Amino acid sequence: MRQSHLFTKTRREAPKDEVAKNAQLLISAGYIHKEMAGVYSYLPLGLRVLNNIMQVIREEMNAIGGQEVELAALQSPALWKKSGRWDDVAIDVWFKTELKGGGELGLATTHEEPLSALMTEYVQSYKDLPRAVYQFQTKFRNELRAKSGIMRTREFIMKDLYSFGRDEKEFRDFYETCAGAYKKIFARIGIGGQTFRTFASGGSFSKYSDEFQTLSDAGEDTIYVHREKGIAVNKEVFNDEVLADLGLKKDELEEVKAIEVGNIFPLGTKYSSALGLTYKDEKGEPQPVVMGSYGIGPGRLMGTIVEVLSDAKGIVWPKEVAPYPVHLISISGGNADVVAEADRLYDLLAEHGIEALYDDRDVRAGEKFADADLIGIPSRLVVSEKTMSSGGVEMIISDGRLPAGRQGATTLVPESDIIERLSK
Ligand code: ATP
Ligand code: MG
């Protein structure tokens, strides 16, 4: 992508109405656009990051047998009345809309009811279980607090997976498998070290659920973390009984702020019973399906990465989620040979399947580097008169933690080595 063609631009001043660092940086760098409080649009660079995060999640969900669907966002009240959740007290974030011809519809906040109803058409016998079904689907929640940028929005994509099992054991096996997949996801997108499996309230159908919480002062939750054991307890359930259950001692735990990036939840037979999702066991007796739900917010993850990994100069994307793997920058000062060399390198990268963001704009070097620091692509190639006379290209490959251009040291690499080094 030639930056001279990109319709978005960076801006030096952070938007004044944003208090969250993630929104300030993402808007300044041209990743997102604010529509109104708690509502954001994703621009070309931002959509690439979001899609990369979703692809990591998709791969890990497919690896544990998840089958991808996409359910409708418009929901019929009939199904929600069966479970008692059409009520605004049961779900206090509903957006509902009246139909012109009479009647009402709900805008999806979650999908237990519609998916349980759908599965009744396909699950009849014990042979049809277990199953795991997931989607990346737009949720609407009329959130009161919308001050955390893209980490808490009124409209957002959620990866929600639902598991359907024959009994508690089958459910539990999948639950643990999914917890393992979540660990892999957070590690791959670069926040594994800061993210802890956290015991949280199980609601009405189970003693506990598990949240995945990323340590950050920008978080809205308070948790008590045991770093060596790699587990934590949410303040909501922090009491002597829980500590005893988990074999933890109060004075070994550290109180910290954290962001809930994911949540896995035992549902028992609450929705299967309400929606009539049963199967016939080996004896031909009808049994309710045992369910679980497993959510992750890709937008909240993107905001979390920015909160946790950015520095004073801008965003720092881990390799797996960066909008482009490499930022190619030409410093030509009007020299046509430099332009030609940078163009050639851009084409060479493309031939090798390496997508680059190419800063081919006619602007000063200082502006290009400041923009590159703000945008935060982990590897950088610089072509200038100086590098050409030294017979190479200036190259910085980040180790996935440090941003390009911020390590101090740059290497002059002969062109013949560039492709190999970037492919690593
Ligand atoms: P919270 O307690 O933060 O409001 P929740 O417990 O209501 O979240 P879940 O229903 O468990 O959220 O949703 C699953 C995941 O979806 C969350 O772990 C989070 O990553 C994401 N998510 C939830 N609400 C939002 C939101 N308003 N904006 C962006 N992502 C969200
Ligand atoms: Mg939750």
Whole-model pTM: value is 0.96
Q: How far apart are CA 280 and CA 303, in angstroms?
A: 45
Residues lining ligand 1, Cβ inside 6 A = 141, 143, 152-153, 156, 158, 260-263, 295-297, 299-300
Residue 406: per-residue pLDDT? 62
- The amino acid at 418: I
Handedness of CA 239, 244, 245, 248 (dihedral sign): positive
Residue 399: per-residue pLDDT? 54
Residue 381: per-residue pLDDT? 93
Residue 402: per-residue pLDDT? 55
- Beta carbons of 293 and 143 less than 8 angstroms apart: no
Radius of gyration of the chain (CA): 25
Residue 12: per-residue pLDDT? 86
Half-sphere exposure of 376 (CA within 13 A, CB side): 30
Token reading at 57: 């999640």
The SS3 assignment for 243 reads helix
Residue 408: per-residue pLDDT? 56
Ligand 2 centroid–CA 210 distance in Å is: 9
Q: Which residues are in the CB-under-5-Å shell of ion ligand 2?
A: 263
Closest CA to 306 of 394, 227, 198, 214: 214
- Beta carbons of 22 and 29 less than 8 angstroms apart: no
Q: How far apart are CA 230 and CA 179, in angstroms?
A: 13
Please report the beta strands in 218-307, taking only residues with DSSP state E, as ranges in sequence order: 221-226, 231-234, 254-268, 278-280, 286-288, 290-296
Token reading at 396: 């910085």
Closest CA to 260 of 299, 293, 296, 207: 296
Which residues, including other chains, have CB under 8 Å from residue 221's CB and lie 6 or more apart? 211, 213, 234, 235, 257, 258, 259, 260
Nearest ligand to the C-alpha of residue 221?
1
Q: How far apart are CA 111 and CA 137, in angstroms?
A: 10
The SS3 assignment for 64 reads coil
DSSP count for the chain of H helices, then E strands: 12, 21
Nearest ligand to the C-alpha of residue 294?
1
Per-residue pLDDT tens listing for the chain (424 residues): 999 999 999 998 888 889 999 999 999 999 999 999 999 999 999 999 999 999 999 999 999 999 999 999 999 999 999 999 999 999 999 999 999 999 999 999 999 999 999 999 999 999 999 999 999 999 999 998 788 999 999 999 999 999 999 999 999 999 999 999 999 999 999 999 999 999 999 876 778 999 999 999 999 999 999 999 999 999 999 999 999 988 999 999 999 999 999 999 999 999 999 999 999 999 999 999 999 999 999 999 999 999 999 998 899 999 999 999 999 999 998 899 999 999 999 999 999 999 999 999 999 999 999 999 999 998 999 999 999 988 888 877 765 445 555 655 678 888 888 888 888 7
Residue 392: per-residue pLDDT? 81
Ligand 1 centroid–CA 304 distance in Å is: 13
Ligand 2 centroid–CA 212 distance in Å is: 9
- Ligand 1: residue of 158, 182, 296 to mutate (most ligand atoms within 8 A of CB) is 158
- Beta carbons of 114 and 75 less than 8 angstroms apart: yes
| Token pair 């390590």 in the structure block, residue | 407
Which residues, including other chains, have CB under 8 Å from residue 81's CB and lie 6 or more apart? none
> In 148-249, which ranges are continuous DSSP H helix?
168-188, 240-246
Residue 375: per-residue pLDDT? 96
Q: Specify the residue with its C-alpha closest to ligand 1, atom 13.
A: 295
Nearest ligand to the C-alpha of residue 300?
1
- What long-range pairs does 200-203 form, CB within 8 A, spacing at least 24? 200/234, 200/236, 200/237, 200/263, 201/234, 201/236, 201/237, 202/265, 202/266, 203/265
Residue 145: per-residue pLDDT? 78
Q: Specify the residue with its C-alpha closest to ligand 1, atom 18.
A: 262
